[in-house]
Structures are given as structure tokens and as C-alpha cells.
A and B are shown apart, each in its own frame.
Chain A
């Protein structure tokens, strides 16, 4: 990856980030005034006006925008109204939890999908393939919320194997990971299966077999390497989605991640939290995209990242 390419990517990312943050600034303000949410219903109009003044919400939108943009350039996202702490501090506590949760779920889904998808492709048309097809489609379409509650009822309440919810040691991660695992697993199995069937029927694989290469080597080295590119593309997209947090899963399990923080921030009109969360997630997505590009090049040398 050349320096010029990297600089070009950085410039585009900065422009995209500026556009995104401007939209976020406008959109959160369109959703309503936080003052009514934060003051008791009985508070007087004077108290409401005073709070608007303290928060700077009584100034023109343009003045608010320029002040906010200036602060953001210094990476100052302001104080969270709800948490009464700097918004970026709160976001940086939640973000690693979400990234770890997403990375574990997605890695497991990626590995499992390659194995299961390959099995389906090798047995294409047979009963194993049909079974995997049904299973993967169900996994890709089951709602997170339902899966979460069923997981709690089955593994926490009935079998007492896992805690219902919360945050801590490895056992607390099992159910949220399982819920987040299902959809990418189902999606990726379908893609692995399709591209593997195509690869296994390609001329180079037939040639390799004709030359007497062993079955496992043909599947894992020749066919899989060629089938991986679309899988990596989709996994990259899924990783970008996961960076924003599995909102529903985090809410159900009381998992202190960025998805839950963002949902709470929107509901509580905590502008600073919403803006800081969007910024942090956008930066992570940019990094993921760069990493995916680099991964492309290492899987398929014909792809040049420039």
C-alpha cells in the first residue's frame, strides 16, 4: 500500500466524516429539545429558558454549529447531559466492549461458516446440504431480540448454565455472542457454499484433481482460497455494522456497549453522547475498511491496493 494511496484514503475519510458529523449535528437537533426531558414537568418556563441558555440551545443553529465544529476539531465532544461526564470518556468506556463482542462473534461466525459452508458445497444437493441450507437461512433471519430472550429462558432459567445478563467474566459473553453470531453465520454459510461450489467446479480444481492432488488439499488450498474473496467482502461489511454495536442484544443483556449507549443517547436527547458515539464508530469503520482492503491483497495477489 503506497503512501499516496493512504493519504488519498485519509482525505476521503476526513471529508466523509465531516459530512456525517454535520448530518448528525442537524438530525439530533431535529429530534427535539432535551430541556423538557431533563427538567421536572413542574419546572417553570423561566427554569426551562435558563437551562436552554446554559446549554447554548437558545443561540442560532449556525452559531451552535460553528462552536460545535470548533470543539470537535479539538476532539472535544462536550459533556454528557445524562452521565454528567465528558461524552468521549463515556464512549471510550463502551466502545472496546462492543468491538470485543463484535470481533468474537464475527470471528466465530467466519470460521464456522467456512467449515459448514464447505461441507455443504462438498455435499451439494445431498441431505447434508439441504439441512445446512435450512439451518443457515433460519440463523440469518431469526430476530436478535427473540433469540436473546429464548437464550435467557433456556440457558439461564431452565438449565442454569449461564447468567441471564450483565457484564464480567467469559460466561457473561456467551449469550450475547451467540445472539450476534447467528445472523452473520447464516449469511456467510450461504456465500461460502455458493462460491465454493463455483470454485470446486472451476477448471483449475478439476486440473488439480486430475493431477492427483488429495481431496482435502483441493478443497482447502485451491478452491477455498479462490472462494474467500466474496466472503471477506461480506465479512468486512458485517464488521462495519458490528462496530455500531448490536443495539438490541446489548439492551436485552444489559451489556455496556456502544449500541446501548447510542440508543439511550437518542432516547434521552443526549446530543454529546450521540455525536461522540457516531464519531467513534465512523473512525472504527474507516479502519476496518482499510484492513479489509489489505486483507484482499494478501488473499489474492492479483488485487492491488492502490
Chain B
């Protein structure tokens, strides 16, 4: 019968396929090669676009370097391409540059190269991310004193210029000045070997690197959208490090959680009733069982937050009490507000963003139930990034519904000034609070130095959380990375933005 012959060929076919497959699968992980899998392909690989973590992860301190780095432990400024710096007068900072550094294209690293990078980053026609974000609102004018000395003039007193420059990746002076680059040339320990669009980026060690030679010679960066697939790639040896593993996939001994400098919060639109009543905003905070969310929907190592920055950020206030879970008190506050004519029964919409962090939808579903239990009339709306950004950014519709918005705020620059002004002052484009006292506090703190600066920022955080209650702080978040057991790598608080390849080796 012909059915029998099909069965036989199927068996032979399967056997042949298994043999072919077992010899065809490449062997991975040479002793000096490493593959890292991330979620998304980077956008431009331009040195001036490292505000986006997808780009920074490939570039920062791998291909390109900055004048200074920030310590992941306490945010203090550490030397990199600059060996020393000092404020010389109110409106100028002097940087002494490292000797013996060259770019991958053979050009010498000097003050003129930094000047070119700085001008390029601030060029409005290029719309560089670092110029639009970290260096926004300040005019930096470089003055080349000599090859190894650069003075940067500022248009107002800038006490933390070195912190800001830790975000400026410096590319070769030959980087195109009128277009974004896909072929970055830096001074870092690795140079770009290839970028195969849609597939992978490979880096190879730069022989003439000024610092210690890295243990890994060739690194490949891949991207896969699915957390389960990323995790599986480490198990099979196709990758040695996989970032952003979802909590439900990250339960093995090879999964390591690390704080990622992000704080999850709900932003309250306090311009719209009933959220313009402080009792209602307090009730929102009291109605959420944060302990119940940790270890279930959020990772067990997430920390309950009371402000939007981590303890490692300058200006963090350790004395703000964490909100307790007290639904009875929340109900009482709502009743009192209702008795005074506040429309507390108006529907409040919770805007969430799909995938802003693992289990983002599930967390809001739980919070919606908690708020409803405390007497709120709430509806959940999960949005994709683009419509969510419309809710985050001004201008907003005048006749809008009362709402709270799921968001996540990061601070990798180590100072509160990178978090507070745009998000919590009257003219901030994502701020839902307009309070002159807070405006003054943030403005004064931004100009101050030393202990005074710290005190003012701490006061601002306290005012925001306790007096104004503009936010529902949730957690200081963690990211899970799966790391092959033979790889020596400890992700730190900056690992969300940087894959520090030179710190990685095989055991």
C-alpha cells in the first residue's frame, strides 16, 4: 500500500532532518565572543541620540564615550575622556582632557573634537535627543584653549554641568553635521563591525583603546520582541545575556533582578474635579495595597516608593512616609468630600500604557479593583504608546474627563534637576500641577549648590508627595536579566541604558 511507503519516507525524512539540524546549528559562545539579546532594534546609532535607551545600550561606553561618567553607586561624577574639571567663574567650566586617546578612524581626540560634538548636539536642525532633553534650555559655548583644555561657557549659572555632560557621547569630528549617522565612530573599547538591519549589530574590540583591553573581543547584539524567546536564547546558548525578562519567565537561578532607575507612578490630573480636591487625591493613595502588589504583579525586589527618584539621586528625601493601605480612611475622605459638594462619584479614567513595564495592564486591573472597593468610580483604558503620549504631553483638551495616568520616570543622571522641572512645574510640558510655591522651590534648587541644593530638592519632593499630593507613587522598579552561568556580569542601576561590555567576561 502507498500509505506504508509514505510512513517510511516520513521516518527517513525526520531522521535526516534531525541529523542535518543537529550538525547545522552553529556552536555559540567562543571564549571571547558574547551575544546579548534586547527587545528592540536601535533607531539611528547616532552619538547624539543616546537619550533613547535602545541607542545608548549599543553606543554608550562601548563605541562612544563621554567626558565623564556617573557612579552607579551614588551618582557622583567620575573621569572618562576628561580627567579633571572645575568651575572657573560663574559662567564657565574648564575640562582637562585625557592624553593619548584616538577615535576609531585614527583622528586624535582633542578639545576641538569635543567642541564639534557639542555644537552638533545643540544644532536644532538635527534634533539630537541629548540637545532636546538633557541639554535643553542652556546654551553651551565651547572655547578651545589648547588640544587638551576646553572651557565651556554657559548662558546662566550651571552648577552641575559635568552631570549634564555625562549624557553627551562624543563622536569623531568627521561625523556628518547635516544628518544622523548610522556608522558611529567613537573612542570606546569597541568599534562598530556591522549593522545588518532587522537582524543584528556586531562590535569588535578596538586595538588602540586608551584603557584596559576588554575580555570580550566580539559582541553581537540581537533583538527579539518576546520575553520567553529572549529567555530561551540564554538556555540554548544562542545568547549569554538577555534583558527585560518578564517576571513570569524570570524564575530561574540565572535570572537576576536589578534596580533600573525607573519609578512607577500614577500622575493625577489635579486640574479636573473631583481630583482638584486634596482629600480625593489622598484617598487614591490610601486605597492602593502596595504590599499586595509586590511579589505578585510586581517583582518581589521592587521597592515601595514615596517619590519619583531613587535613593541614589541627589536630592532624594528619605523622610517622606510611605503611604499606608487604609481603604476605610479613603472611604471616609471621599464621604467628607462628597458632603462638601465635591463630585466624587464622577467617573475617573485610568490611562495605562500597554507594555510600559511587564504586567502593566495587570497592575492597573488590580488597582482599578482596589479603587472601586474604596468607593471610586473608575474605568481603565489601556493605550498604545502614541495615544498615551497625547495624554502625557500638553496641550490637553479643556473639557477632559478626570484621569490618572500610568507612567514611569527614570533618572540616570544622578540629580533631581533631571526629573522635577519638566514634570512638576507650571510650564512643564508633562506637568499636571501648577503651584507657585513648588515652582519657586524647584527653580531655587536648580540654581543652588551643595547642601542648599539638596535641602531644597528634598523639600520639593516632600511638598509634591505630602502637601500637594500630585502623584500616586508606586514602586522603584527592577529589570530582570537572564545571564548564562559561565558569564561574569553584574548589572547595575545604569544597565537599563548601558550594556557595559568591557565589564563582562567569562568565568
- Chain A interfacial positions (CB closer than 8 Å to B): 31-34, 36-37, 39-45, 47, 50-51, 54, 82-85, 90, 93-94, 115, 119, 149, 152-153, 156-157, 160-167, 169-171, 174, 216, 251-254, 256, 260-261, 267, 269
Contacts and interface: CB of A to CB of B under 8 A. Distances in A.
Interface string B1-33: 011001000000000011011101100000000
Contacts of B385: 37, 267
B213 interface: no
Nearest to B3: A119
Given A171-B21, A267-B384, A252 B43 contact: no
Given A50-B127, A83-B197, A163-B25, A42 B422 contact: yes
Given A84-B182, A163-B25, A163-B238, A41 B386 contact: no
B124 A84 contact: no
A153 B2 contact: no
Closest 6 CB pairs of A and B: A256-B198, A40-B133, A32-B386, A43-B132, A36-B389, A42-B133
Contacts of A85: 182, 197
A48 B277 CA distance: 33
B127 to A, nearest CB: 6
B507 interface: no
Given A84-B180, A157-B235, A254 B224 contact: yes
Interface residues of B, number: 52
Interface string B371-397: 000000000000011110110111000
Given A40-B133, A41-B430, A166-B238, A90 B386 contact: no
B113 to A, nearest CB: 23
B59 to A, nearest CB: 15
Interface string B159-197: 000000000000000000000101000000000000001
B223 interface: yes
B390 A164 contact: no
Given A39-B127, A45-B394, A160-B22, 9 more contacts: A40-B132, A44-B132, A83-B197, A152-B228, A153-B228, A164-B232, A167-B198, A171-B24, A252-B229
A156 B234 CA distance: 11
A149 B226 contact: yes
B225 interface: yes
10 contacts: A36-B393, A37-B389, A39-B129, A43-B132, A43-B136, A85-B197, A157-B232, A160-B22, A164-B229, A256-B199
A113 B497 CA distance: 49
A153 B232 contact: yes
Contacts of B236: 156-157, 160, 163-164
Contacts of B222: 166, 254
A32 B238 CA distance: 38
Interface string B402-440: 000000000000000000001000000110000000000
A34 B387 CA distance: 10
Contacts of B6: 115
Contact of A82 (B43, B224, B394): B43
Contacts of B132: 39-40, 42-44, 47
Given A31-B386, A42-B422, A254 B229 contact: yes
A246 B199 CA distance: 17
Contacts of A174: 17, 21
A149 B180 contact: no
B197 A93 contact: yes
B386 A37 contact: yes
A51 B125 CA distance: 9
B289 interface: no
A94 B198 CA distance: 8
Given A41-B422, A43-B133, A161 B387 contact: no
Nearest to A160: B236
Given A32-B386, A32-B387, A164-B238, A252 B232 contact: no
A47 B224 contact: no
A122 B451 CA distance: 88
A54 B180 CA distance: 14
B2 A216 contact: yes
A217 to B, nearest CB: 12
B102 interface: no
Contacts of A82: 43
A34 B125 CA distance: 17
A169 B389 CA distance: 41
A276 to B, nearest CB: 14
Contacts of B182: 84-85
B312 interface: no
Contacts of B43: 82, 84
B133 A252 contact: no
B198 A93 contact: yes
Given A37-B389, A254-B223, A44 B2 contact: no
Nearest to A161: B21
Residue among B44, B182, B385 with the most chain A CB within 10 A?
B385
Interface string B118-133: 0000001101010011
Nearest to B198: A256
Residue among A40, A93, A156, A260 with the most chain B CB within 10 A?
A40
B454 to A, nearest CB: 22
Contacts of A261: 198
Contacts of A267: 384-385
Contact of B229 (A31, A33, A165, A169): A165
A50 B199 CA distance: 32
Contacts of B235: 157
B412 to A, nearest CB: 13
Contacts of A45: 394, 429
A47 B21 contact: no
B384 to A, nearest CB: 7
Interface string B38-80: 0000011000000110000000000000000000000000000
Contacts of A115: 6
Nearest to A152: B232
Nearest to B42: A82
B392 A47 contact: no
A142 to B, nearest CB: 17
A54 B393 CA distance: 20
B464 interface: no
Nearest to A39: B132
A32 B390 contact: yes
Interface in B100-138: 124-125, 127, 129, 132-134, 136-137
